Amino acid sequence: DSGVTQTPKHLITATGQRVTLRCSPRSGDLSVYWYQQSLDQGLQFLIQYYNGEERAKGNILERFSAQQFPDLHSELNLSSLELGDSALYFCASSEGGYFTDTQYFGPGTRLTVL
């Protein structure tokens, strides 16, 4: 168990809908990262927050947004969902704000868009 929790574990929704994925980092970790893992694209970095502020941005679509709250938990919002958004979404956390800091991954949320 990495200490990172993600909810829900599974999510099934329809195209055009909006969903929110939640992540609680390990105790003491200030950084939260979001990743998307699909069969054809592999694991892709979406966005990073450090102590409430956006720190780095990857291949995140404009339909997606995220935030980190004062208690350091984070939410990833996915809107106007398309079939291609079906994937595993992972959250990771680290103590520091750099990619060289060891990241601990949560168990993921499986999103299925029908």
Partner 1 sequence: GESVGLHLPTLSVQEGDNSIINCAYSNSASDYFIWYKQESGKGPQFIIDIRSNMDKRQGQRVTVLLNKTVKHLSLQIAATQPGDSAVYFCAERQNRDDKIIFGKGTRLHILP
Query: Minimal distance in Å, beta carbon 65 to partner 1?
Result: 18
> 80 or 112: whose CB is closer to partner 1?
112
Transcribe 17-48 into DSSP letters: --EEEEEEPPTT--EEEEEEEETTTEEEEEEE
Query: Minimal distance in Å, beta carbon 108 to partner 1?
Result: 5
Query: Both ends of the chain: CA-CA distance in Å?
Result: 31
> 16 or 58: whose CB is closer to partner 1?
58
- Give how far Cα 103 sits from Cα of 4, 49, 54, 83, Å: 10, 13, 17, 29
| Residues near partner 1, by CB under 8 A | 2, 4, 37, 39, 42-45, 56, 58, 88, 90, 92, 98-100, 102-108, 110
**Could you tell me the two tokens for 40?**
């054809």
> 45 or 79: whose CB is closer to partner 1?
45
Query: Minimal distance in Å, beta carbon 109 to partner 1?
Result: 10
